[in-house]
């Protein structure tokens, strides 16, 4: 993973935070996303000790503008994206009769969020390919 660029959403805690540390141990540079700026900064500071570059980007993945910003910041700083860990999420444990529909709605918005990021990546990749083709044809 040395010098690969990995984006991880939901990197401020749990599985995302653990993945960030593991990727950093393997030598990958990281772009970390979550809503909690303080937690994200702490994770980034902790990971920098592995000698890799880490960019924390405060992101609510349910907001398309935030997702575009995340992908743009990653490409501006690192010029590429090798791996996307679409991990941000919430969970709820309840019996069906106690189901809180508002939590399910949030969950769906998170799934859209994952799509926003992939769409932003494809959109920017399309322009990169177009620019390369244009350069080639000149």
Ligand X SMILES: NC(=O)c1ccc[n+]([C@@H]2O[C@H](COP(=O)([O-])OP(=O)(O)OC[C@H]3O[C@@H](n4cnc5c(N)ncnc54)[C@H](OP(=O)(O)O)[C@@H]3O)[C@@H](O)[C@H]2O)c1
Q: How many residues sit close enough to ligand X to count as binding (CB under 6 A)?
A: 22
For residue 92, the minimal CB distance to ligand X (Å) is: 9
CB-nearer residue toward ligand X: 75 or 110? 110
Is residue 60 involved in binding ligand X (CB under 6 A)?
yes
Residue length of the chain: 138
Is residue 39 involved in binding ligand X (CB under 6 A)?
yes
Q: How far is the C-alpha of 130 from the C-alpha of 134, rounded, in Å? A: 6
Backbone angles phi, psi at 115, to 5 degrees: -70, -35
For residue 37, the minimal CB distance to ligand X (Å) is: 8
- Tell me which of 48, 90, 111, 118 binds ligand X, using CB under 6 A: 90
Is residue 68 involved in binding ligand X (CB under 6 A)?
no
Residue 117's closest CA among 1, 2, 43, 7?
7
Whether the Cβ atoms of residue 28 and residue 4 lie closer than 8 Å to each other: yes
Q: How far is the C-alpha of 43 from the C-alpha of 30, rounded, in Å? A: 11
Is residue 115 involved in binding ligand X (CB under 6 A)?
no
Q: What angle do CA 92, 84, 132 make, to 5 degrees?
A: 150
- Tell me which of 20, 67, 81, 88 binds ligand X, using CB under 6 A: 88
Pairing of strands 83-85, 5-9: parallel
For residue 112, the minimal CB distance to ligand X (Å) is: 10
Q: What residues line the site for ligand X (CB under 6 A)?
A: 9-16, 34-36, 39, 59-62, 87-91, 110
């Amino acid at each position: 993973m040395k010098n690969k660029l990995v984006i991880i959403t939901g990197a401020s805690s749990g599985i995302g935070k653990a993945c960030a540390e593991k990727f950093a141990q393997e030598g990958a540079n990281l772009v970390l996303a979550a809503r909690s700026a303080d937690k994200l900064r702490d994770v980034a500071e902790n990971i920098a000790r592995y000698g890799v570059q880490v960019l924390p980007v405060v992101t609510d993945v349910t907001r398309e503008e935030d997702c575009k910003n995340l992908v743009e910041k990653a490409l501006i700083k690192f010029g590429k994206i090798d791996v996307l860990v679409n991990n941000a999420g919430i969970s709820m444990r309840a019996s069906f009769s106690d189901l809180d529909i508002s939590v399910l709605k949030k969950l769906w918005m998170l799934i859209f969020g994952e799509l926003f990021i992939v769409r932003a990546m494809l959109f920017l990749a399309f322009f990169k390919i177009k620019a390369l083709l244009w350069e080639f044809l000149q």
